[in-house]
Amino acid sequence: MGIGVCFLLLALVLCHGLTVTTAYKGDKQWRTERERAEEEEPEEQAGRRRTEDMFLMPRSRPVMRTDAGEMRVVRSLRGRIIDKPLHIGFITMEPQSLLIPQYLDSSLILFVRTGEARVGCIYKDEMVERRLKIGDVYHIPAGSTFYILNPGEGQRLHIICSIDPSESMNLDTFQSFFVGGGTNPASVLAGFSPETLSSAFNVSVSRLKGFLSRQQDGPIVHVTPSHAPSIWTRLSQLQEEDRLKHVKRMVQGEVEQEKEWSWWNLFGMFSGNGGKIFKDKAPDSYNIYKRSPDFRNAYGWSVAVDGSVYKPLKDSGTGIYLVNLTAGSMMAPHVNPRATEYGIVLRGTGRIQIVFPNGSLAMDTKVREGDVFCVPRYFAFCQLASRSSPFEFFGFTTSSLENRPQFLAGANSLLHALSTPELAAAFGVTEERLRRFINAQNEAVILPSASAAPPDDEDVKKAVKNLGNDMIMGFD
């Protein structure tokens, strides 16, 4: 028996070892491709990837998702070099759908990428609604109740938004407080006791419970006639005055045959009448595509909107911009002295190059549609379009003042203003050679491709490299 027990124990030990080994291999098998690549890549490449992660923002993650739409968010980079973190949101809504009424602990700036939207918002205790189309920008302050409706019958709505967490509770990317709701999501009203709400609304507890338990489709819901056939159709056909009277009678329980209504039907009826059913004192939207470019040449154009142009941006402390580069062109190396820049690639592919203060390359990465990048204030950078297609990107800046970027190359570069004996001495060249070098480029702001650019001056390139290596300024 003793020998049998020994064999049994030995078998158990071997099985345990096999199990552990199998589990370990299984764990290795299910590692992501990126994790395996990170382990196998040389240390130099790994270091470059870590620095790129400082500026190329991570992939978006869903924060709301239903069969009627979703909202995804890219979290802001954090650190001492980021003067103001902004999260970037992507909202997609199916035709005839509604992002239900809520307020956030963060302010939003909406930019309509495709489709049309109706945005309702509380402004100075009044309900206002705006009809937004492609290119429109609209500001929603933190704490202001709003909803977004896609009234279209055949087109999805795509919105890009900045999310400013400066007033947030720091619980997550942002916190939603749903005014409308039911079991999914729960309305903030649901937290009060039934007796309290019964008294507050002057309705019976049974009616109250029925009202607060109907909605269970999530934060983005369908509002098509098939979901609310009778009230949707009839209310949308009423005149404004009759419509409001009818709603009041319904709320007071005077319309017995229409007790079975859900709260979002009320918002569906406001999709008509040009969005002017409410008192309207709020700021309007602003269309960035209708603004004349601040700069344009044969290689592209750019436009920036600040608080002096669109007042809600001044209130939010945020600016917006849009750049379109032709295939092969580049936005000249420049510096933003007032703001951190967040960019979202709208169309095409290109490269983003960012430079550390010590003159070393921080990032040189290819980007494509949907990628989000961040350039800290004071950092030199440039954007380059691929040779195969135009490169268009939209973004937000962390200041609503005029940015006035300082260009480091091109016909309008700050080197022209600094064309002095001191600058020539700094580069270790004669004044004549300095003038020839900085005057070789006749274009400004947006420059032609490298194939059309003038040849490099190798002596000056070496001087610039040596100068950069001597100026560490706090970076290893």
In tens, the pLDDT along 249-273 reads 544 444 443 433 444 444 444 444 4
**Chain mean pLDDT for the chain:** 78
Least confident of 29-43, 70-84, 111-125, 147-161: 29-43
**Could you give the CA distance from residue 157 to residue 135 in angstroms, rounded to a whole number?**
12
| Whether the Cβ atoms of residue 348 and residue 383 lie closer than 8 Å to each other | no
Report the pLDDT value the prediction gives residue 167, as an integer from 0 to 100. Answer: 83
Half-sphere exposure of 170 (CA within 13 A, CB side): 2
Mean pLDDT of 440-445: 95
Report the pLDDT value the prediction gives residue 136, as an integer from 0 to 100. Answer: 98
**Could you give the CA distance from residue 85 to residue 78 in angstroms, rounded to a whole number?**
7
Two tokens at 376?
């800290």
Tokens 């005014």 locate to: 179
DSSP one-letter string for 331-366: EEEEE-SS--EEEEEEES-EEEEEE-TTS-EEEEEE
**Could you give the CA distance from residue 2 to residue 56 in angstroms, rounded to a whole number?**
65
What are residue 383's DSSP bridge partners? 331, 352
Query: Helix axis angle, 458-469 relative to 431-439, nearest 10°?
Result: 100
Q: What is the pLDDT of residues 239-248, one digit of tens each?
A: 445 544 554 4
Mean pLDDT of 429-448: 94
Q: What is the pLDDT of residues 398-409, one digit of tens each?
A: 999 988 899 999
Least confident of 38-47, 229-238, 389-398, 416-425: 229-238
What is the DSSP code (8-state) at residue 442? -
Say which residues have a Cβ less than 8 Å from residue 301's Cβ, sequence separation at least 6. 293, 295, 323, 324, 446
Report the pLDDT value the prediction gives residue 277, as an integer from 0 to 100. Answer: 45
| Whether the Cβ atoms of residue 392 and residue 347 lie closer than 8 Å to each other | yes
Report the pLDDT value the prediction gives residue 119, as an integer from 0 to 100. Answer: 94
Report the pLDDT value the prediction gives residue 308, as an integer from 0 to 100. Answer: 94
Report the pLDDT value the prediction gives residue 260, as an integer from 0 to 100. Answer: 39
Burial 239-259 (b: 16+ CB within 10 A, else e): eeeebeebbeebeeeeeeeee
Report the pLDDT value the prediction gives residue 289, as an integer from 0 to 100. Answer: 96
Two tokens at 148?
């977004």
The pLDDT confidence band at residue 176, using thresholds 50, 70 and 90, is very high
Mean pLDDT of 328-344: 96
Q: Which helix (H) or strand (E) holds 74?
A: strand 69-74
The pLDDT confidence band at residue 168, using thresholds 50, 70 and 90, is confident
Higher pLDDT, 164 or 12: 164
The pLDDT confidence band at residue 171, using thresholds 50, 70 and 90, is low
Report the pLDDT value the prediction gives residue 190, as an integer from 0 to 100. Answer: 86
| Whether the Cβ atoms of residue 320 and residue 385 lie closer than 8 Å to each other | no
Report the pLDDT value the prediction gives residue 255, as an integer from 0 to 100. Answer: 43
Least confident of 119-123, 200-204, 281-285, 305-309: 281-285
In Å, how far are 277, 333, 461, 462 from 429, measured between CA atoms? 69, 22, 11, 11
Cis amide prior to 185 (ω within 30 degrees):
yes
The pLDDT confidence band at residue 2, using thresholds 50, 70 and 90, is low
Say which residues have a Cβ less than 8 Å from residue 160's Cβ, sequence separation at least 6. 88, 89, 90, 91, 110, 111, 113, 344, 394
Least confident of 78-82, 177-181, 250-254, 406-410: 250-254
Report the pLDDT value the prediction gives residue 212, as an integer from 0 to 100. Answer: 85
The pLDDT confidence band at residue 392, using thresholds 50, 70 and 90, is very high
Query: What is the bridge-based pairing of β-strands 391-397 and 319-325?
Result: antiparallel
Mean pLDDT of 290-316: 95
Report the pLDDT value the prediction gives residue 181, as an integer from 0 to 100. Answer: 84
Residues across the chain? 476
Asked whether residue 468 carries a pLDDT value surpassing 70, the answer given is: no
Mean pLDDT of 178-185: 87
Report the pLDDT value the prediction gives residue 450, as an integer from 0 to 100. Answer: 65
**Could you give the CA distance from residue 372 to residue 415 in angstroms, rounded to a whole number?**
30
Report the pLDDT value the prediction gives residue 470, as an integer from 0 to 100. Answer: 38
**Could you give the CA distance from residue 81 to residue 336 in angstroms, rounded to a whole number?**
13
Q: What percent of the chain has pLDDT over 70?
A: 70
The pLDDT confidence band at residue 52, using thresholds 50, 70 and 90, is low
| Whether the Cβ atoms of residue 364 and residue 180 lie closer than 8 Å to each other | no
Half-sphere exposure of 462 (CA within 13 A, CB side): 5
